Amino acid sequence: MTEVFKGEFTQQEPIPDEGIEAALKVLKSGRLHRYNLVGGEPGEVSLLEREFAAYTGARYALAVASGGYAMATALRAIGVRPGDKVLTNAFTLAPVPGAIASVCAVPVFVGVTEDLTIDLEDLAAKADQADVLMLSHMRSHICDMECLMAICDAAGITVIEDCAHTMGAAWKGHASGRWGKIGCYSTQTYKHMNSGEGGFLVTDDDEVAARAIVLSGSYMLYGRNGTVPPAEVFERVKYDTPNVSGRMDHLRAAILRPQLRALDAQCEKWNARYRVVEDGLRGTPGLRVVERPAAETIVGSSIQFLLLDWTEAAVSEVLKRCFDRGVELKWFGGAEPSGFTSRYDSWRYAPSVRMPASDRILRGIVDMRLPLTFSLEDCAQIARIIRGEVGAVFQAQT
Ligand SMILES: *Cc1c(COP(=O)(O)O)cnc(C)c1O
């Protein structure tokens, strides 16, 4: 009696009723655009910005059309020019090098460690190559942020954090997104809040905030945004900052506001699921669990494990066997980009130098989403299936 998992790895929870009601209200009003307001109403987008700024503790928050848009806007707001180099993680997803390429800058990839965080030694070695680091907290793994900031501060590197997977996470109690100059977040369907597409940028910097607000398409209505730097800052930037419309609309903001109120409780639910899978996998022969440091406040919306130094054929066999039993695993070692997953050398618009130590790790990373529609029982079953199949393939290998 081999058990088969019946759940759907792509099934998110429904939008909360409160969000649906707020969305209907926006639809009935006909006023969907960010600056389409009547009387003194602040509008859903500005309210959401204030609430997100309060949640992260940032002075300014800007709600935008996607996480990728937030990252590209961050790069422009700090003055990255075509041809400039931008350090970033080799282990990340396509929107990250994509945002860098969208401003005609050039990614310089930094390696990954067995803890699945950025390789700080490699970062230090490459620190003289660029003035900006787009740090991707990929799959919610946070590196030693004090050490990273010390390296970047010493080298005069401005840090932008990609928090697509760390909304709600922290290092030593200090929120991810609040270490660097700018934090960028995504509210794409598979992230920690769901508006289909969407994102945020947060910062404490007056000038960065003003530039980002003008970039996002404020025309000269920036005073209506949720969190607004002093007027004289706009006077300095408004004539030479282009309009590249991409702020969020009221409909998406309306469905996000109740989700933000529930975010911390949701993070706890993810972590409970994560710990069940982690416990179930620990001790599986041939499989390395990625141990999470005590300094890290995690959000376990996905889980990774390593099949280090396995052959391609054996990893493929594990994926196939698990898939046949209803468990969808993603592999970062595949030579061809597939689904959401790709490897740094697949981004051919971004030149890269081979990094053998990182390649060894990337070849071993297996990744799985943990949607909140899965129960704790489901998670225990998934772990049993993976454990069984990894164990069987490992035994046949040795
Ligand atoms: C989803 C994601 C983003 C942002 O993507 P958008 O789809 O543009 O919101 C950024 N970085 C990573 C690692 C992501 O997974």
Rg (CA), the chain: 21
Strands 158-162 and 182-186: parallel
376-397 and 250-281 helices, crossing angle to 10°: 50
Q: Which of 163, 186, 301 to mutate to test the pocket of ligand 1 (most atoms within 8 A of CB)?
A: 186
pLDDT at 11: 95
User: Which tokens belong to 293?
Assistant: 């440091």
Domains and CATH numbers, the chain: 17-261 (3.40.640.10), 263-397 (3.90.1150.10)
Residues framing ligand 1 (Cβ under 6 A): 66-68, 92-93, 95-96, 136, 138, 162, 164-165, 186, 188, 199
pLDDT band at 125 (very low <50, low <70, confident <90, very high): very high
CA distances from 193 to 12, 219, 261, 301, 383 (A): 10, 28, 10, 11, 25
The candidate with the shortest Cα–Cα distance to 99, out of 131, 127, 132, 144, is 132
Whole-number Å distance, alpha carbon 184 to ligand 1 midpoint, is: 9
Q: Where are the beta strands (DSSP E) in 117-256?
A: 132-136, 158-162, 170-171, 174-175, 182-186, 199-203
* Residue-wise pLDDT tens digits, 295-330: 999 999 999 999 999 999 999 999 999 999 999 999
Q: Which of 69, 73, 93 to mutate to test the pocket of ligand 1 (most atoms within 8 A of CB)?
A: 93
What residues contact residue 301 under an 8 Å CB cut-off, 6+ apart? 140, 165, 191, 192, 270, 274, 369, 370
pLDDT at 1: 63
Helix locations, 190-328, DSSP H: 206-215, 231-237, 250-281, 312-324
Backbone angles phi, psi at 259, to 5 degrees: -70, -35
* Residue-wise pLDDT tens digits, 353-365: 899 999 999 999 9
pLDDT band at 397 (very low <50, low <70, confident <90, very high): confident
Among the residue ranges 35-44, 47-56, 100-109, the one predicted with the least confidence is 35-44
Q: Which of 89, 96, 100 to mutate to test the pocket of ligand 1 (most atoms within 8 A of CB)?
A: 96
pLDDT at 319: 97
3-state secondary structure of 343: coil
pLDDT band at 337 (very low <50, low <70, confident <90, very high): confident
> Amino acid identity, residue 105?
A
* Residue-wise pLDDT tens digits, 56-97: 999 999 999 999 999 999 999 999 999 999 999 999 999 999
Whole-number Å distance, alpha carbon 134 to ligand 1 midpoint, is: 13
Q: Which atom of ligand 1 is found nearest the CA of 198? A: 9
Q: Which residue has the higher pLDDT, 46 or 335?
A: 46
Whole-number Å distance, alpha carbon 394 to ligand 1 midpoint, is: 34
Residue 200: pLDDT over 80: yes
Find out whether 151 and 123 touch, Cβ atoms under 8 Å. Answer: yes
pLDDT band at 50 (very low <50, low <70, confident <90, very high): very high
Give the angle subtended at the CA of 60 by the CAs of 154 and 85, to the nearest 5°.
40
Q: Which atom of ligand 1 is found nearest the CA of 137? A: 13
* Residue-wise pLDDT tens digits, 203-254: 999 999 999 999 999 988 999 999 999 999 999 999 999 999 999 999 999 9
Mean pLDDT, the chain, integer = 96
Residue 276: pLDDT over 90: yes
Give the angle subtended at the CA of 54 by the CAs of 196 and 132, to the nearest 5°.
70
pLDDT at 220: 87
What residues contact residue 231 under an 8 Å CB cut-off, 6+ apart? 223
